Amino acid sequence: MTSTTDLIPAPRALDGPLRCGFVFDERTTLWAGPGTGSTERWLRSVLGPALDLPLPPGPEDSPQAVRLRVDDTLKPEAYRLAVSATWGVEIRGGDPAGVFWGAQTLRQLLGPEAFRRAPVRPGMRYGIPQQTVEDAPRFRWRGLLLDVARHFMPKDGVLRYLDLMAAHKLNVLHLHLTDDQGWRIEIKRHPKLTETGSWRSRTRLGHRASPLWDERPHGGFYTQDDIREIVAYAAQRHISVVPEIDVPGHSQAAIAAYPELGNTDVIDTTALSVWDTWGINPNVLAPTDTTLRFYEGVFEEVLELFPADAAAFSAFVHIGGDECPKDQWRRSPAAQARIKELGLAGEDELQAWFVGHFDRWLAARGRRLIGWDEILEGGLAPGAAVSSWRGYAGGIAAARAGHDVVMCPEQQVYLDHRQAAGEDEPVPIGYVRTLEDVYRFEPVPPQLTAEEAGHVLGTQANVWTEVLEDHARVDYQTFPRLAAFAEVAWSALPTPAERDFADFERRMTAHYARLDALGVAYRPPGGPKPWQRRPGILGRPIDGAPPNR
């Protein structure tokens, strides 16, 4: 049994708990009102096996019932969870998502055994003290980026992370599907994108300055049915999946598959292969009609696989737009002719034109473009949104210009960055960002007015995988910091300096047991276990305090 005060993310308000309460046993039934079917199925499929209970349908007025209902007097995603010794459990949500988030809280109240796939104590019955939890999210966009391009994460791993996100009330999965090091989504009209672009012959081990190589080929991709499954699985958990197809930089895997996409008048693009190291790649897309038509075809298939439906952010498509070196365009007669033809001032405006083309193309199909903050350079259509990664400045500029923003500043919420100093930390990248640092992250810059701050859709933690070669490494870098991030994104916390990190650490004691039950290979509070270390693999640690701009 778990105390309400052990919940993560922290709820807005609670009444109780009292000693008496509700016991889950063979008599417990499940009643689901209109619009709550996905939560009903989820509860039965998760709590049933964990607690060894059938949870059959039952009457609404049964004192042994768990009741689910949508209550439109509550705000979207808000919920009210009431536990009574005399009339059971009731979860009311402002919408179906709110009911689902209330069910996640119910699972936490039942204890870590509720996070297992089969009963570990057969015959045990689980009680919840009488209490009422009232809760609602601070931000609409509570996201996690998974980079499956640098190191491929098989489909089951993505589904597992959707479950982990749901357990932390996160609701947007940003899936980074393409990069120089791999193309991970099947495009039927361009089969070489996966035949050639989805695998590389070897991989740099560690930071790009490392002399070490893994000489095994690395690759993988999601079939279109895999993508449909991922999107459907996410939707059942009230999570939107935002695909990222990176243009015009970070594109060597695509150029290796289709050399005509590159700047053929500058380099021999037929000699390129999928990149096997890290960093900013000089080989970018050519600003030609051939390239535009090719990627329009790609996006047509992407839109079919990621339909814009009732999910909160399903209309968004991420086009990257970051880290696009201009040297090849400067040397390319074709690119220079395009600049002259369009009356542009130079290569920076050429990139803005490239991004603007897909901004308009997506908008004409009822979609919204989102990209990294470099896309601000040159202007954006009114509906476009910005992922602010180079600190806060891009987000501030975007919000002041009337664009919606997702705050994901590198030095605050890039979870591939190291969690502690010291030689035991595996493949240390960047500045130290501790659990407490993430807990004190504030997504809304104080420079914004209330009106401007209204453009901050929310926040996102990013997990880049250059040095994360498997799910255990992803787990280690992501957890426990994702739990702190989830509370920042969901809960109505005070200012960073006033946040009670000691209480959060106390609640994490209970939460570590949940993560253990889920099989998460998190970083222990005392430091990495011997098998989590990576001695001899070079990272790039940076000392001192990170910039906060």
> Strand 178-179 relative to strand 213-214: parallel, antiparallel, unpaired?
unpaired
Residue 221, SS3? coil
b/e code 475-487 from CB counts within 10 Å (16+ = b): bbbbbbbbbbbbb
How far apart, in whole angstroms, are the C-alpha atoms of residue 233 and residue 210?
38
Please give the structure tokens belonging to residue 340. 């002259």
Nearest to 392 by CA among 266, 199, 268, 547: 547
Cα dihedral angle (507, 513, 516, 517), rounded to 10 degrees?
A: -120
| Residue partners of 325: CB distance under 8 A and separation at least 6 | 249, 280, 281, 282, 284
Please, are residues 462 and 413 in contact by the beta-carbon 8 Å criterion? yes
In 10 A of CB 304, how many CB atoms? Answer: 11
Please give the structure tokens belonging to residue 321. 């737009």
How far apart, in whole angstroms, are the C-alpha atoms of residue 65 and residue 91?
11
- Residue keyed to tokens 């803005």: 352
> Strands, DSSP E only, in 337-396?
368-372, 385-388
Does residue 113 have an active-site annotation? Answer: no
Does residue 323 have an active-site annotation? Answer: yes
Please give the structure tokens belonging to residue 104. 């996640």
How far apart, in whole angstroms, are the C-alpha atoms of residue 307 and residue 304?
6
Does residue 347 have an active-site annotation? Answer: no
Please, are residues 434 and 418 in contact by the beta-carbon 8 Å criterion? no
Please, are residues 441 and 488 in contact by the beta-carbon 8 Å criterion? yes
- Backbone φ and ψ for 521, nearest 5 degrees, come out as -90, 60
How far apart, in whole angstroms, are the C-alpha atoms of residue 33 and residue 301?
36
Give the active site residue among 323, 348, 424, 442.
323
How far apart, in whole angstroms, are the C-alpha atoms of residue 245 and residue 186?
12
Residue 14, SS3? strand
In 10 A of CB 127, how many CB atoms? Answer: 18
Give the active site residue among 174, 190, 218, 250.
250
How far apart, in whole angstroms, are the C-alpha atoms of residue 219 and residue 21?
52
Give the active site residue among 95, 147, 179, 244.
179
Please, are residues 97 and 171 in contact by the beta-carbon 8 Å criterion? yes
Nearest to 105 by CA among 73, 80, 86, 69: 80
How far apart, in whole angstroms, are the C-alpha atoms of residue 2 and residue 110?
6
Catalytic residue set: 179, 250, 323
